[in-house]
Amino acid sequence: MLLYLIRHAQSQNNARPAYCRIEDPPLTAVGRLQTCCLSEWLRTIEFDMLITSPTLRAVQTTRAIHDRTGHHVHVWGNLFEEGGIFRGFGPQAGEGGPGMTRSKMGQQVASNAKLSTLDSSITEAGWWGRPRESSDESSARASEVAKRLTVCVRNQVRGVVVVTHADFKRRLLLDLLGEHNELLKLTRFSNTGVTKLILDDGVLRIAYLDQVVHLPPRLVT
């Protein structure tokens, strides 16, 4: 049984200086090209379940995968990047933004409402709307998501694809594989970079880390 953890494609915030960042950025033109390459590559991979973060950049990345593979999309309300959605930049930026509403999420993530399942935490008021998440809160959330993902992988025949974020992906991997994995702490995760985990006899191990073979060199960011 397999688990593919994928960072979203390049967002506008990835391409901007910190002081120009916005609270829930869409993809750039480069990011949209990256999704095309990623989704074409995923057509060659057999998997059962497609899961995404509720942020706009992750939803847009996942929509490209959905359009090319036809997979039902599951939006998990607790799969977002460290900190949640907050306005401004720097460690003192703590004012929370709401995130996409449930109806808008349903329209964006799949070609048909029947082809997506949204967590109940995603409402018409959005899915965040709180102050910035602390590091301890993010760590606790990663542990919850890791347990939920492990159950999903065990219940599937072929595999699970997850679209998430760089820092949260690192937290997930440390939780799934062990706190003392120094390689994970040093890795800088690429946009649409794929990390493949294999679940064998109840133990997860890395098959490859941050693979970008689906991207031409000019699109690696």
Question: Burial level of 163, CB count in 10 A (0-12/13-18/19+)?
Answer: buried
Structural domain includes residue 114: yes
162-214 pLDDT per residue, tens: 999 999 999 999 898 876 566 666 678 999 999 999 988 778 889 999 999 99
pTM above 0.75? yes
Structural domain includes residue 62: yes
Range of the domain at 58: 2-84+107-121+132-219
Structural domain includes residue 180: yes
Domain holding 71: CATH number? 3.40.50.1240
Report yes or no: 52 and 115 within 8 Å, Cβ to Cβ.
Answer: no
39-53 pLDDT per residue, tens: 999 999 999 999 999
The two tokens of residue 170 are 């690192």
Q: How far does the chain reach from its first CA to its final CA, in angstroms?
A: 29
Structural domain includes residue 99: no
Residue 90 is predicted with a pLDDT of 76
Total structural domains in the chain? Answer: 1
121-144 pLDDT per residue, tens: 999 999 999 999 999 999 999 999
Structural domain includes residue 214: yes
Structural domain includes residue 144: yes
